[in-house]
Structure 1
């Protein structure tokens, strides 16, 4: 975990130095701090049902003048009080390519909180570090390819004799990191005032195990489409989205309805 923090700190330092050295014209519309709040019907992440309760998602981030570097945090809270999440993130965009790092910490009814937020020990931490490299081919052919791997944290093998999850408790994992990976392809289509983002994602573990963070075998974990549109309310417009998603590995499905409040 220390190595991960060092790598992340070094990456952010180099990116920041690169931006300071760059000679750019002042942008009078530059807003370094962004704050957003969303309401969603459920939390469906890469085919996993994190919570089926509606929840609020708040995001705050700093963006540099080039618009390439973002550093921030996001927090979620279920309206029924059984789910909460706090993530830290950093992203860097250069032309059609991007890299994103997330430190994710969450708890729910089926995965209750058993350690504090500062615990990064491999066998007990509620954290996991997710790294994504993405690329959009072109404006004419906007197919997006995103490779995400959990590089540290609670994505580990359960060794023989370890406690397996019972009653919703998190198993004690003392094995090696599985490096569970999610590979997604997505493609946007604009129809009148509606944007449709079709997506499909597969999961597998880089250490060769069939069992991974997303299920008990490799395969397709997400098939779906996100329909988004801005609806006018007087002088204001509110972006809304509707996203049905199927998970062939778990034989489950869900629909996420989202509203951007601001």
Structure 2
């Protein structure tokens, strides 16, 4: 295991050295809502990654301010024209389920592995359709069979008076992590605006109004990006 960690670290260092762009930022959010699911209280959510010829590799995390719940995800994205491919490794642990990071046993791990694809119709009509499916990790139905948890989302960005807006709707096609059958689980409207602080510094703020029709819940999230 130590050799594997050293090898991965060397790969990351090499990748960062060859990257066209390296980015680091953090969001501070009033609550953590993911695909219409309540996933945590007020949190800080940092990210660190790199871009290289259409390929984006990054780590993303979420840590609550009041509890010890946290998440760390490793993601790989490749964009070619209007098509984007995704591969994600999600890892979560809570006070009730303190998973160990290097435990990859299917029924006791805190990891789930997902692949997906997204396609934007055109620049003039930027409607995007994305599909994600979990293929490995702790993702099982009550009968012990793999759930193949899947999520499909449609999103459309637009702007109104210097405010960037986006509407989205997401559903799950069958019984899985998201729902006990086909259901719409996420309907949302988000808005992002940069607040000018000085002549050379602006602070992006955002708000998201989210509804989960399946759970009959509505959320409002406020966030700041640094």
TM range, normalised to the smaller chain? 0.7 to 0.9
Counterpart pick for 1:59 among 17, 24, 47 = 47
Matched, 1:237 2:225: no
**RMSD over aligned Cα atoms:** 1.7
Counterpart pick for 1:74 among 56, 60, 83 = 60
Q: Calculate the TM-score normalised by the size of structure 1.
A: 0.76
Q: Deviations over 1:200-224 (max 9, x none)?
A: 001123xxxxx31012232100111
Q: Deviations over 1:47-70 (max 9, x none)?
A: 11011x210011001211x2x001
**Is contact 1:225–1:244 with CA below 8 Å preserved after alignment?**
yes
Give the aligned partner of residue 130 of structure 2.
Answer: 146
State how far apart, in whole Å, the 2-side matches of 1:74 and 1:183 are: 21
Deviation at 1:128, TM superposition (A): 0.5
State how far apart, in whole Å, the 1-side matches of 2:134 and 2:221 are: 24
* Larger Rg, first or second structure (1 or 2): 1
Give the aligned partner of residue 215 of structure 2.
Answer: 250
Give the aligned partner of residue 35 of structure 1.
Answer: 24
**Is contact 1:212–1:218 with CA below 8 Å preserved after alignment?**
no
Give the aligned partner of residue 179 of structure 2.
Answer: 215
How many aligned residue pairs are there?
209
Runs of 4+ in 1 over 6 A off after TM superposition: none
Give the aligned partner of residue 100 of structure 1.
Answer: 86
Which structure: greater strand fraction?
2
- SS of the residue aligned with 2:105? coil
**Is contact 2:192–2:204 with CA below 8 Å preserved after alignment?**
yes
Deviation at 1:82, TM superposition (A): 3.3
Matched, 1:202 2:166: no
Could you list the runs of 5+ residues in structure 2 that have no partner in the other structure? 1-14
Could you list the runs of 5+ residues in structure 1 that have no partner in the other structure? 1-15, 21-29, 160-174, 206-210
Give the aligned partner of residue 224 of structure 2.
Answer: 259
Q: Deviations over 1:24-55 (max 9, x none)?
A: xxxxxx7532111110111100111011x210
**Is contact 2:93–2:99 with CA below 8 Å preserved after alignment?**
no
State how far apart, in whole Å, the 2-side matches of 1:188 and 1:32 are: 25
**Is contact 2:190–2:206 with CA below 8 Å preserved after alignment?**
yes
Give the aligned partner of residue 46 of structure 1.
Answer: 35
Q: Deviations over 1:219-242 (max 9, x none)?
A: 100111111111111131111111
Give the aligned partner of residue 83 of structure 1.
Answer: 69
**Is contact 1:38–1:258 with CA below 8 Å preserved after alignment?**
yes
Q: Deviations over 1:156-176 (max 9, x none)?
A: 1223xxxxxxxxxxxxxxx22
Matches within 5 A, 1:157-172: 157-159=141-143
State how far apart, in whole Å, the 2-side matches of 1:176 and 1:47 are: 24
Q: Deviations over 1:112-166 (max 9, x none)?
A: 334311111111111101212000000111000000111111111223xxxxxxx
Q: Deviations over 1:74-125 (max 9, x none)?
A: 121101123211111111000110011110011235xx33431111111111
State how far apart, in whole Å, the 2-side matches of 1:139 and 1:118 are: 42
**Is contact 1:106–1:126 with CA below 8 Å preserved after alignment?**
yes
Q: Calculate the TM-score normalised by the size of structure 2.
A: 0.87
